[in-house]
Structure formats: C-alpha cells, structure tokens
Amino acid sequence: MTRNEPVIEVVADATALVALGVERVTEKLAAAISVRGRARVALAGGSTPRALYRRLASDSRPRVDWRRVVVFWGDERAVPPDHPDSNFGAARASGLLERVPARQVHRWATERAPEEAAKLYEEELAHEFATGPGALPSFDLILLGIGADGHTASLFSGTPALAERTRRAVANPVPALGAVRLTLTLPVLEAARAVVFLAAGSEKAEAVARAFGGWAADVPAGRVRPSAGTLDVLLDAEAAALLPPLPAGDTRG
C-alpha cells in the first residue's frame, strides 16, 4: 500500500506557525464541508494547538461553518474535563467549542475507568462514521503534535498501543510517565484524509529530524503515513533546525 510522504513547511517562529496552521485547518475543513456537507476533525493537545484554537475562535469572519464540524480528540489524559491537563478542557477554554453544536463534540469519558472510556470512544466513532466490523473511521483532518521523545497523540515508543492494529481507541499504559493515556490507534491516523503535524521549539528538533528527516523513522510520529490522504508537517525554524536542507529548487515553506 502506498504511503504518502510528508510535505514540510517551515516558517520563522511560533507566531507564524500558528498563522500557517489556521490557513491549513480552515482550508481542509472548508473543503470537506464543500464536498461532504460536514467535516470531522480530531484535535490535538499541546501549547501550539491551544494557540491555534484561540486564533480560530477569535476570527470574526470565520471561513469554516463550524455548525457543520464534528469534533473528536486524538488522545486524552485520564483526568477530569476541567483539569488543567485535559486536552478537551484546553479546547473548551479557547472558546472554539462554542462555535460547534454541543451534540457534535465528542470528548473522551475520562470520568470512567480508562479501558471503559476507550471502549465508549470506539462506540462513538462507529456511530459517527457508520463503520462496520473491520472498517476504519476516515477523519477529514487529524491534528497532531510531536513530543521531544518523538511520541504523537499518546502513542509512545515501547507501549502496547503502538502495535495495536485491531482496536480504534485504547487505554495505553505509559511507564515513563507513570500514567495511562487514552489514544486513537495508528490505523485510525493512517486512514485520515488529511493529517497535519505542528511543532515549534528547539526541544522538538531532534524528534522532528528522526520522524521526518528522510531516515528510517524510529519514533512513533514518523510512523504516521496516511494510506491515501495528505500529510503536512508545519514547523517553526527551531523545530526544523536539524532537518536536512531541502533539495535545490524545492519551494516548500
């Protein structure tokens, strides 16, 4: 099966990265709405996505009809929705979710035990995407970040979720954090129509190079290659610092 290679765009700093992220997100969601009447997105956690959500929420002339957007999350911490570490809580605090009908916002049920929360999320995915046995949900857009260790969503090196090929959502024990995380699995990320990574800061440079530098990807983020969708990697200059130079004549970024 063919895997699409990443299109890498590099901008000067984190502020420019958020602006570029707004462009890509609005472009892909608006296109999905135009073609299918709605757009299904899985949001990410992290500081750069939070800034992105604030920008989208503050847009006085939105280019996306948010009434036609269905929101999920790629991963979540096993904390209450009002906890400072909650990815859902961060998106809600940004004001973005106020633009989306409440019935179209699907958070992880973190008030339940992690395994139960994961099974409930699989049921919500199956209902929203009307998928049968063996079928995968196909998100119009999945937003992802990359950790300094190369993880993405809550897929960490050496953890069981990274090898999962049957489940759609799982509770993933992460010994390095002493915690259990909730995450979509790699097959779901690979089935997306579009995946957009955002990374900023020098602390991400090594992980970015290991994931997207043209080597044999040895970190989880580098394993995300949509089967038929697009893969955009949006970086600031610090995060891109260890990538090899772009080929002569390449105008990306």
Residue at 108 is within a domain: yes
3-state SS, residue 71:
strand
Of 54, 104, 111, 61, nearest in space to 82 by CA: 111
- In terms of Cβ atoms closer than 10 Å to its own Cβ (0-12, 13-18, 19+), residue 126 is middle
Task: Look at residue 246 in the predicted model and tell me its pLDDT.
Answer: 60
Phi and psi, residue 170, nearest 5°: -140, 160
Query: Could you list the residue range(s) of the whole structural domain that residue 124 is in?
Result: 7-221
80 in any annotated domain: yes
CA distance 162 to 192: 17
Q: Let me know if residue 240 belongs to a domain.
A: no
pLDDT number for residue 215: 63
Here the CATH number for the domain that contains residue 182 is 3.40.50.1360
pLDDT digits (tens, 9 = 90+) for 148-198: 999 999 999 999 999 999 999 999 999 999 999 999 999 999 999 999 999
Q: What tokens does 164 get? A: 């999962």
pLDDT of 232: 98
From its phi and psi, is residue 72 left (phi > 0), alpha (psi between -120 and 50) or beta?
Answer: beta
Per the structure block, which two tokens stand in for 225?
Answer: 């290659």
Residues 73, 153: Cα–Cα separation, whole Å: 9
Amino acid at 236: D
Structurally, the chain folds into a number of domains equal to 1
pLDDT tens, residue by residue, 38-53: 999 999 999 999 999 9
Q: Is residue 17 part of a domain?
A: yes
Query: What's the token pair of residue 42?
Result: 């899985």
Mean per-residue pLDDT pooled into runs of 10, the chain (253 residues): 77 98 97 97 95 94 94 97 96 97 98 98 96 87 97 97 97 96 98 98 96 82 95 98 70 44
User: Is 242 within the bounds of a domain?
Assistant: no
Whether pTM exceeds 0.85: yes
Asked if 63 and 26 count as a contact pair (C-beta separation under 8 A), the reply is: yes
Between CA 19 and CA 196 the distance in angstroms is: 14
Domain assignment of residue 51, yes or no: yes
Residue 226 lies in a domain: no
235 assigned to some structural domain = no
